[in-house]
Each structure stands twice: as structure tokens, then as C-alpha cells.
Structure 1
Amino acid sequence: MEVGVQSGYVANGGAPPPAGILSVGEVQRTNNRSPAKTGLHVNFKEKGEIKEKREKFLTAKYGHHQMSLIRKRLAVEMWLYEELKKLYASTNNKIEDSVSNEEVEVDIDELLDMDGDEQRRRHLQNLLINAKGSQNDVKNFINDLLERAKTL
């Protein structure tokens, strides 16, 4: 025997259903969502709306001894940069413009790889041949740089 709901059947003897109870037809007319979830939806972003990708940086943690060596090297390089600015400054004291006009690159690693102080001194004199400072200033700079390079 099959049991089913007839199309014209009304529950409760023809009386309207109590408040909050939906008939079969009303349930089918809703979007098959429960009342608690009707406000939920998912927004998909278009490809043009993707935010800029964050840059990622890799950092390293160094030991105390390694950090002291790095600081010492950085101090020598900063000193070198400032002294080169002074050597290549024009007589008008335009230090900022002078370094950009004269590109002089002193590689500390290259100096350290050379055999002796005389070879280092000749190399530095060849690099600094166009310096606007006096020859005495260049000579003092070379001596100071060679002393500081020995500490590295």
C-alpha cells in the first residue's frame, strides 16, 4: 500500500497552519536555505582586484662574534665612503655632486687579497689619480685605509 499526500490535502482540517510552520508548497518556494543561513554568501574577487603581493624578506640571525665583524667592516666602509667624498670634493665644497661625477670604487676585498702593502699602495694610487684633494691628503688617506684594512 502506498501512502502519499494528495495535492488538495490541507492539514488541521482546513485551518491555516500555525505561525512559523510552512506548508509543503511554501517550503519548495524558498531557496532551500535554512532561515539562519539566508544572509550568508561568498564573494569571489575578480582577478583585477587582487591586492599587491607583500614583499617577503629573509633575515638571518648571526652570533655575537659574527655581528662584531660585520659592524667593524661596515664602519670601515662608511669611513671609506666619507673620505672619498672629501678627496673628490671640488674647491667649491660641493661634496654631494663630486662623488656622483667621479665614480671611484675601492674594493676592500680586492685590497685584502693583494700580497703586500706596496702592491696595495700602488693600486690605490692608480685608482685615486684623479682626486681633487692634495697629494698629501691622498697619501694620508691611503695610509689610513691600509691601517684600517689590517684590522679586518
Structure 2
Amino acid sequence: MAANRVGRRQGRGAPGGLSPGRGAAGGLSPGRGSPGRSPGVQRRAARVTVKYNRQELQRRLDTEQWIDGRLGELYRGRERDMPDEVNIDELLELETDEERTRKLQGILSSCTADTQEFIAQLLALLRGLPKQRLLQRPPPKNEETT
């Protein structure tokens, strides 16, 4: 019948029980664990090495989101007075909690709400948080065109 002939051409019902993609080596194609694979070929690892620890990155992201949320609460109604950023890496580079506290008090000087609880909680979150050393692009230079 014509349907059987078309099926064979497309790889269905091929004679001898073999179909395309299957060799004589147990029905598996090379590279998929076939017993006919050459012994010198090594399989690639299933995982790719990640440069940064996912848990550390998640903890850092959670800390940044917490800071944004708390600053929103502290500066509610006075968003224009809110600091542009609280740089976690700058805080981590300081040696002591006293230095970090002074830095944060300077950043939050325009806040009329009590910031002591925020600072204490942020210092607790920063403990054990690793410094992030990423390559950063230098800021664009303001070149005047004449």
C-alpha cells in the first residue's frame, strides 16, 4: 500500500526493526550512553560551575529589597528626601559597626523618623554578608562636543 511506503521513507516501520537515529548498538545513538562509544570520550559534567554562590546572591538581594522597603517606610511622604542609594559594599568595607553606624547616620541625616532600629537591623543583616567584587564599567566621561 502507498501508506506503508510513505511511512518507511519517513522512518516509520523501517525494515529490520531499525529506525533512523538508532544504530546497531542496542538502539541507542552515540553520546547517549551507548555501549559502542569509544573509551577515550568523556561525558560532560551535568552542572556548570557558577562563579557566585546562589545563596549568597539571594541573601544580598533580600537585603537590598529589605533596605528599599524600610527606606520607603522611613521616608513615607518625603520620597524626594530619600537617599539615592545605600551602598552595601561601601558599608562592608568599613572595619567596625561604629564606622558603619556613623556612615548610615550621615546617609539618613535628612530623615525625621527614628533611624536607630533600622540601622541596628541593617548591621545585623550585613554580618556575614560577603563583599561583592564585580567588574564595573567606569562611569561615562562627559565629553563636550564642539
TM-score scaled to structure 1, two decimals? 0.49
For residues 51-71 of structure 1, what are the alpha-carbon distances to aligned partners after superposition, in whole Å with 9 as ceiling and x for unaligned? xxxxxxxxxx66497111111
Alignment of 1:19-30 (within 5 A): none
Quick check: which one's helix share is greater?
1
Q: Which amino acid aligns with 2:64?
A: E
Please tell me the root mean square deviation across aligned C-alpha atoms, in Å.
2.0
Partner of residue 72 from structure 2, selected from 85, 89, 109: 85
The higher radius of gyration belongs to 1
- 2:124 is aligned with 1:147: yes
- Structure 2 distance, partners of 1:84, 1:122, is 17
Query: Partners in 2 of 1:78 and 1:131 — Cα distance?
Result: 19
Deviant stretches of 4+, over 6 Å: none
* Residues 1-152 of structure 1 aligned to structure 2 (within 5 Å): 63=50, 66-90=53-77, 98-99=78-79, 101-104=80-83, 105-133=85-113, 135=114, 138-152=115-129
- Unaligned runs of 5+ residues in structure 2 are 1-47, 130-146
The 3-state SS of whatever aligns with 2:53 is: helix
User: For structure 1, which runs of at least 5 residues remain unmatched after alignment?
Assistant: 1-60, 91-97
Identity of paired residues, percent?
32
Aligned residues: 81
**Amino acid across the alignment from 2:102:** R
Q: TM-score, normalised by structure 2?
A: 0.51
Distance (Å, rounded) in 1 between the aligned partners of 2:88 and 2:118: 14
